[in-house]
Amino acid sequence: MYCRKGFTVWFTGLSGAGKSTIAEELDRMLRERGVPNVEIMDGDVVRENLSKGLGFSKEDRDTNIKRIAFVCHLLTRNGVANIAAAISPYREIRDYARELIGDFVEVHVSTPLEVCIERDVKGLYKKALAGEIKEFTGVSDPYEPPLKPEVVCETHNETVQESASKIVEYLERAGYLTPVAQVVA
């Protein structure tokens, strides 16, 4: 059971922090609860399909995030539960997304850089640390953590299910999901 109001859960964090993994688990949990319309806007997928040709300069990154935010805005106002998983390193552009979308839940996937480097499944940190990738978030380009995210997930201290459950609990408290206890009663 859920509320029919659309919303966007916006994941932000370093590459390798676990944004996409938690997003997939959250998607599964929402569908299991009967939320019929859930969309995941994964940063890598968007870059390949909506933002092809953009680089990694601040301007290009901002353009990519604005595109994700615009699609989430359209879907949110039409009752869809959106899950946006993109590094989105700059506070100013995340604030822009929050204002545009309105029903916005910021989730900081707060994973230490050292853990992200250890995970480095794509080999990007290795290349960035060797100077082969310029403007890499957390290495040669800044990451500005959120000041007041609605939820903080620490993937180095909690399981994927624990992280996704924290988000579901927040969505219940915020009125986006009907608590399971109320549905059963």
Q: Which residues are catalytic?
A: 88
Closest CA to 159 of 15, 13, 18, 65: 18
What is the Cα–Cα distance from 126 to 119, expressed in whole angstroms? 11
What is the Cα–Cα distance from 171 to 33, expressed in whole angstroms? 12
Helix/strand/coil for 105: strand
Residue appearing with tokens 């969309």: 39
What are 173's two structure tokens?
A: 């408290």
Check if the beta carbon of residue 116 is closer than 8 Å to that of residue 15.
Answer: yes
Please say whether the dihedral angle defined by the alpha carbons of residues 80, 148, 85 and 1, taken in this order, is positive or negative: negative
At residue 59, what are phi and psi to the nearest 5 degrees?
-60, -45
62 Cβ partners below 8 Å, 6+ apart? Answer: 90, 93
What is the Cα–Cα distance from 8 to 38, expressed in whole angstroms? 10
DSSP annotation of 8? E
